[in-house]
Chain A
Amino acid sequence: MNKKESLSAERRRKTVLSVVLAAICIIYVLPVLSVVINSFKYNTFVKTDTFALPVGEMWAGFQNFIKGMTFGNYPFWKSVLFSVVITVLSTALILLFTSMAAWYIARVNSKFCKAVYFLCVFSMVVPFQMVMFTLSKTADTLHLNTPWTIPIVYLGFGAGLAIFMFVGFVKSIPLEIEEAAAIDGCGPLRTYFSVVFPMLKPTLISVGILEIMWVWNDYLLPVLVLDINEYRTIPIHIQYLKGSYGTVDLGATMALILLSIIPVIIFYLLCQKHIIKGVAAGAVKG
């Protein structure tokens, strides 16, 4: 009798918890929904009727989207293109070169390797403001100020976390596998690319996700390094909508924000499992 009672109490508790969580869930989605509804509203109504549905005279159709495309005298598709180029190139560079260096560091383990590793760990606690001025000047001098060369800057500033995660993983791979490959006649290059690299896959995915999220959303590094009259990424584009003129067309801004978060949300829903795992793995760096 007593057990039955406690069971039904348990069930009631779970129902209450479910209701509370569902309510929080709805509150969580509301900000994104408000972007959606306001991107279809005429500018004048965004401020006065932020939470109303875009009906009647407020309905602007796709006008905000069309307007947003060339807003601020800079075509939006160009920002999208540069964001994609920078994110893809930077992530590819970081994954390839830091995993190679991490393998070398873990296997050779000379004094030089230890020094590089220590510096990498150290760089993780240095805030970007510490180096932002000198880094942007250095990048300027070396002509690393275009979307095709800025990935080198990302490789340099982002190497710390990636090396740290890869070294940790390489150390857990038994040396015997590589020795067997060497005995079978593989040189270091072949051993790395046909034996070690495929084994790194889980960490490659984790690091890749972290780097994509970082580079895609980064504002300060590209705004300081790139020539922003010519090259703008999506975050720079959105920031300069507000910066360039006194009044902002909020409807058009919301339309661009919606366009920029749709691919992110699709990417998230497709690779959710990997993203959550990658984030959890990256956090354990502490």
Chain B
Amino acid sequence: MKNFFKNPLRRWAWLFMGPVVAAFAIGFVWPFIQGIWLSLCKFRLISDAKFIGFGNYAQALTDPSFMHSFWYTALFAVVSLVLINVLAFAVALALTSGIKGSNLYRTVFFMPNLIGGIVLGYIWSMIFDGILSRYGTSILMETKYGFWGLIILMCWQQIGYMMIIYIAGLQAVPGDMLEAAKIDGANKWQTLFKVTIPNVMPSITICTFLGLTNGFKLFDQNLALTAGQPFIIQPDGSTIKTTEMLALNIYNTFYGSNSASQGVAQAKAVLFFILVAGLGLAQLAYTRKREVQQ
């Protein structure tokens, strides 16, 4: 009985699977494999690639601008992860406490999510410069302005998104459990930490995963807000772009003025992939363990 449907379907595999498999090969599988291969090569065009082993990786790891952008990105990701999640959770708690007009608030808080990163960057650079120009400075003048500016921008954009996920989680907390905690004499904080939070652990897993990987992968907003400014010229003549994050650093290494550095850029991209995938999976494994069995 089982195969009676499978066999006729198999004859249509070319139609059902063909387009996706072909596009997936062009859009992902082949570029991925070629990317790994090219990270081990010296090349300008792809056709002149010459195998050189792990030289590109050694160069990438000793590149001060890459290491700077790594630490900058890590700091940014951690700060934005904590701020966004705490604020989004607080807003979600407030909106599920039976307040009037919570739908309106939800609509407004989620709205910035639909605006693209480039546009967001220009909106906020106008706002920050409007404020900072009164003090005779600009967001492009100091690293700390660029850092906190990007944090504010990301909070504005992401809190609404995380809030939606937390609201869904909070609405699924069993009401009788909260009731039982109340009858047993737990106060509000005890209920929050002992009942509510353990029950929304799945939402926390998703939100911290998204927050961490979004923070590391950030590109558009970084490009549009500061594009790495201010720059520091080092004694050896090389430049460190102080607010440049990892994704932008890789982009600049590929398409910057030094066209001989494409192999190094590809090696950086592979390292970036390993970092993002590794961190994401480690984080998932870590918070999954804390989820309540239902």
Contact = CB atoms under 8 A, between A and B. Distances in A.
A208 interface: no
Interface residues of B, number: 97
Contacts of B130: 34, 46-47, 50-51
Contacts of B197: none
Interface string A132-173: 111101110010100000001111111110010000000000
A180 to B, nearest CB: 11
B112 interface: yes
Interface in A21-52: 21, 24-25, 28-29, 31-32, 34-35, 38, 46-48, 50-51
Contacts of A12: none
Nearest to B32: A131
Interface stretch (B119-127, B143-151, B174-182, B232-240): B119-127
Given A50-B127, A131-B32, A108 B122 contact: no
A213 to B, nearest CB: 6
Contacts of A267: 114
Contacts of B205: 286
A256 B118 CA distance: 13
Contacts of A126: 28, 32, 273, 277
Interface in A250-286: 250, 253-254, 257, 260-261, 264-265, 267-269, 272, 275-276, 279-280, 283-284, 286
A129 interface: yes
Nearest to A241: B122
Given A50-B126, A120-B24, A280-B164, A17 B97 contact: yes
Contacts of A21: 91, 94-95, 99, 105
Interface in B244-262: 246-247, 250-251, 254, 262
Interface of A: 14, 17-18, 20-21, 24-25, 28-29, 31-32, 34-35, 38, 46-48, 50-51, 93, 97-98, 100-101, 103-105, 107-108, 112-113, 116, 119-120, 123, 125-135, 137-139, 142, 144, 152-160, 163, 175, 178-179, 182, 187-189, 192, 213, 216-220, 234-235, 238-239, 242, 250, 253-254, 257, 260-261, 264-265, 267-269, 272, 275-276, 279-280, 283-284, 286
Which 4 A-B residue pairings sit nearest by Cβ, starting from the closest? A156-B27, A50-B130, A217-B116, A156-B23
